[in-house]
Structure 1
Amino acid sequence: MNLPSPEEKRRFSRRAVVTLLIAAAVVVIVVVAFVRALPDGDRELRAYQAAQPCPSAPDAPAECRWTQEFTISDIYLTKARNADNSAVLTDADGTEWETTYSSRGPVLNQLDEGDRVTATLWRGRVIEIAAHGRSQNTNDAPVDLRESRFALALAVVPPGLLVMAACVWRLVRRDLPAPTRGMAATLGLAGALFPVGIFARLMVGDRSDSPWAVVALWAVLAALAAVTAYICATYTKKTPDAEAGRTD
């Protein structure tokens, strides 16, 4: 085995240190964002759930809920990842309210221009629409930041820690001319866990028990990825000489 030159060692070390610092910074930012959301990350959601019906139509953004009928004057549905579905709601006075949605259903995809919907307003925003016995939140609906940031942390922190571990491993073994299979498998597992975290959140959706459901699904998928990484790191293909010796 040819040992790396001093210059190659320095190059390996620089790359590992830079990657280690970037991974550590990303992990710290995500963890801090999650911790900061823990005390009152659901404050707006709790305020909305506790809001009482308005006694009359509010003239300005109000803390109470107001429900009224609207007509769909324009609607746009898309399957593109980076675009929102949208609808323009027009009230009896002709005032238009532009609303956006993260998904097409269960209400928006059942509507067409001219259809009537019941919308709930709060703090001057359209929070949800209802039609055909179903309701759907708009993008202005209050959310529990703790859940969304927990999902982000689940997708980012474990891969980030694995990348950091691989970088430290590489620094300790910088005398090697190339990363070991274990190092490569660790980085591969880190790369796999990031989409696993996102996929688990998307599959669970907006269920009330979503944090625990996300963790359960993520754990299963992460275990499969870890087993695959272990097999890749430890599997050794048998050579013809070994087969011949075994036969003898």
Structure 2
Amino acid sequence: MASAHDAIGPQSRDCADTRSPRRARFAGALLILLSLIPTAACFLAFAWWLPSDRERYQDYRAARPCTNGALQRRQTDCLSTWRLTMEKTVNETGKSSRYEAVLTDEDSWRGTVNFGDAGPLLERLRPGDRVRATAWRGHIRVLGKDGVKQDTSAAPRDEVQMNAAVGVLAGLFAAQLFLFGAMRLARPRDYKPFTWDPYGRTLLFITTGACFGVGLTAVWIGIPWWTVPAVSVPLVAIAAETLRLRLSRTAAHEALSAVDVSGPGRARHTA
């Protein structure tokens, strides 16, 4: 006679099997919707952020010293020079590094200027030193003393390669989310290895390392920003396919090993 467990068991398994594809399809649709967020970030990076920073740097490089008339009209698109006094400096390294200079002038103005590091000028400055500050569009961009100059953190830089790296990272992450979601919609019962652990997590680490690695290299050697997507996208694509094939082979090997181990046991049990 069939027990209550036997009667309920298959029905419960059928319900679980029905819920599992539904849950997978729901997760897939959610991943596709979430992919729109990094897609928008990628679009903004290449359509607005990168061109804006590049234009700002070009304007800064093209700026000329202010004339007396421009200073009287308080125009800020030219380079104005001011003689300021160093009140104090902050050189703190560690987890929360701080590189600052507190400046004053003869009219009781007092301001703080930030730097990315201590050299070559900031570490030499002492309270009371007179420095030459170059301002553009209302912010101090360069400090100088005795022929030594240092850009402040506000100085425009020709580093749009990093803007491109962030945009590529956002675009590739959007593609990863979309692919993982599409696989759940197309194959709700068998979408491996397109899961977070280990494929998705490892792929995200590889993508991040490739984008920022190529971006930093492009900044250091001074190659154009478009080389960042041109190099990092194929690198990530090759790494993703290599990783997928390796995981598929590992899963197939483990399944074959499980069959080899369980087969003789079932045969003895049947006999």
- Both proteins in one fold, TM over 0.5: yes
Conservation of the 8 A alpha-carbon contact between 1:74 and 1:88: yes
Q: 1:204 to 1:144 in 2, by over 3 A?
A: closer
| Counterpart position of 1:180 | 192
Task: From 139, 149, 152, give the equivalent of 1:138.
Answer: 152
Tell me which structure has the larger Cα radius of gyration: 2
Counterpart code for 2:248 = T
Q: 1:26 to 1:106 in 2, by over 3 A?
A: same
Asked whether 1:29 is paired with 2:52, we answer: no
C-alpha distance in 1 between matches for 2:84 and 2:140:
11
Using the size of structure 2 for normalisation, the TM-score is 0.68
RMSD: 3.8
C-alpha distance in 2 between matches for 1:136 and 1:215:
31
Conservation of the 8 A alpha-carbon contact between 2:103 and 2:111: yes
Percent of residue pairs bearing the same amino acid type: 22
**Deviates most, 21-30 or 208-217:** 208-217
| Counterpart position of 2:247 | 233
Counterpart code for 1:165 = L
Matched residue of 2:155: which SS?
Answer: coil
C-alpha distance in 1 between matches for 2:145 and 2:20:
66
Asked whether 1:168 is paired with 2:182, we answer: yes
Using the size of structure 1 for normalisation, the TM-score is 0.73
Conservation of the 8 A alpha-carbon contact between 1:160 and 1:190: no
Give 1 or 2: higher helix fraction.
Answer: 2
Conservation of the 8 A alpha-carbon contact between 2:42 and 2:168: no
Counterpart code for 1:8 = S
| Counterpart position of 2:208 | 194
| Counterpart position of 1:98 | 112
| Counterpart position of 2:82 | 68
| Counterpart position of 1:245 | none
**Deviates most, 29-38 or 139-148:** 139-148
Conservation of the 8 A alpha-carbon contact between 1:76 and 1:85: yes
Q: Structure 1: which 5+ residue stretches go unaligned?
A: 243-248
Q: Structure 2: which 5+ residue stretches go unaligned?
A: 1-12, 261-271
Matched residue of 1:175: which SS?
Answer: coil
Conservation of the 8 A alpha-carbon contact between 1:37 and 1:145: no
Number of aligned residues: 238
